[in-house]
Amino acid sequence: MEKREIKSSYSVYRLDELTDETKKLIEYAQSKLKDAYAPYSHFRVGAAVLLENGLMLGGSNQENAAYPLCTCGERVVLTYAGAEYPDVEITSLAVAVKNDLKIVLTPASPCGSCRQIIAEYQSKQKAKIKIYLVAEGDEIYAIDSIHDILPLGFDASSL
Ligand code: THU
């Protein structure tokens, strides 16, 4: 038997430690919280991507009375970028969360389905997508590559 280890890490920043560009991206994701359609969970997710051409795109979670059809904020903004700018690299993704019913201090990490979708866009462009996660507390989590939070993931090489 051989045991294989997968190492991963993430960084924790305070806002004043980030570049102006990253701060702007996070603020853009936060500005999208108001557009979330979350009447069922009351959990708002604002997401923003920075493209290599400098453009920022935003999105938010969009829920449905048929719960499984709820679409996550990450997925909305990534598919928007993929549909509207298919040949422009996605440099980074920022995700902000807010619960209308209570204060959430700790950033929320993308759900498993969104991780798979981030992984797809990352492998499509063959360049890492940096991920920034923020809630209402001081800490901002930064993840260098989706592989850090989706170890041993499924991809096209298995097909
Ligand atoms: N949600 C996201 O938008 N992103 C995630 O990564 C996790 C969950 C949304 C889906 C649903 O509208 C609400 O948050 C509660 O699950």
What pLDDT, on the 0 to 100 scale, is given for residue 137? 98
| CB < 8 Å & 24+ apart, contacts of 50-55 | 50/21, 50/25, 50/90, 50/91, 50/92, 50/93, 50/94, 51/81, 51/85, 51/88, 51/89, 51/90, 51/91, 52/88, 52/89, 52/90, 52/91, 53/85, 53/88, 55/85, 55/88
Pick the CATH number of 11-146 from 3.30.2310.20, 1.10.3720.10, 3.90.79.10, 3.40.140.10: 3.40.140.10
Q: Name all residues whose Cβ lies below 6 A of ligand 1.
A: 38, 41, 43, 45, 61, 63, 70, 72-74, 110-111, 114
For 57-93, write each residue's pLDDT tens digit: 999 999 999 999 999 999 999 999 999 999 999 999 9
Answer yes or no: 74 catalytic. yes
From the list 2, 74, 120, 139, the catalytic residue is 74
The atom of ligand 1 lying closest to the CA of 38 is 12
**pTM beyond cutoff 0.85:** yes
Domain spans, the chain: 11-146
| Residues of the chain predicted below pLDDT 50 | none
End-to-end CA distance of the chain: 26
What pLDDT, on the 0 to 100 scale, is given for residue 76? 98
